[in-house]
C-alpha cells in the first residue's frame, strides 16, 4: 500500500508533513506534525503543529487537548520520529 503524502498550506507557505505522531485518544486522535515548507515565503523552514483528528480521520481546527495518559503514549510514539523528537526536546531542555 502506498501512503499518500500529507500536505499543508498557510498564507506564508505550503509544504509537506515530514514526520507525524498520533495516539488514539478517547475523544479524538492527538497529533504532532513536523511541517517542512517547500513553497512560499517560508520555503526551507520547518514548523511544529499540535493538532488532532476525529476518529473517522477528519482534521479538526481546534486546540489540542491531551490527557496525561495520552502524553505518555505520545512520548513513546515520538521514538519513531527522530527529527520531530529532537525539536520538541527544546520544550523541556536547554
Look at the chain and report how many structural domains it folds into: 1
For 42, the domain range is 7-88
Judge contact between 35 and 18, C-beta under 8 A: yes
Q: What angle do CA 27, 29, 32 make, to 5 degrees?
A: 140
pLDDT in tens, 1-45: 456 789 999 999 999 999 999 999 999 999 999 999 999 999 999
**34 part of a folded domain:** yes
Measured CA to CA, the distance from residue 17 to residue 15 in angstroms comes to 7
**63 part of a folded domain:** yes
**26 part of a folded domain:** yes
Q: Cell match 489540542: residue?
A: 64
pLDDT in tens, 33-87: 999 999 999 999 999 999 999 999 999 999 999 999 999 999 999 999 999 999 9
**45 part of a folded domain:** yes
Amino acid at each position: 500500500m502506498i501512503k499518500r503524502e500529507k500536505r499543508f498550506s498557510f498564507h506564508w507557505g505550503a509544504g509537506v508533513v515530514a514526520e507525524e505522531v498520533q495516539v488514539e485518544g478517547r475523544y479524538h486522535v492527538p497529533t504532532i506534525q513536523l511541517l517542512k515548507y517547500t513553497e512560499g515565503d517560508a520555503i526551507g523552514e520547518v514548523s511544529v503543529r499540535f493538532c488532532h483528528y476525529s476518529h473517522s480521520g477528519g482534521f479538526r481546527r481546534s486546540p489540542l487537548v491531551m490527557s496525561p495518559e495520552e502524553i505518555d503514549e505520545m512520548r513513546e510514539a515520538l521514538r519513531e520520529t527522530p527529527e520531530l523528537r529532537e525539536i520538541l526536546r527544546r520544550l523541556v531542555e536547554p
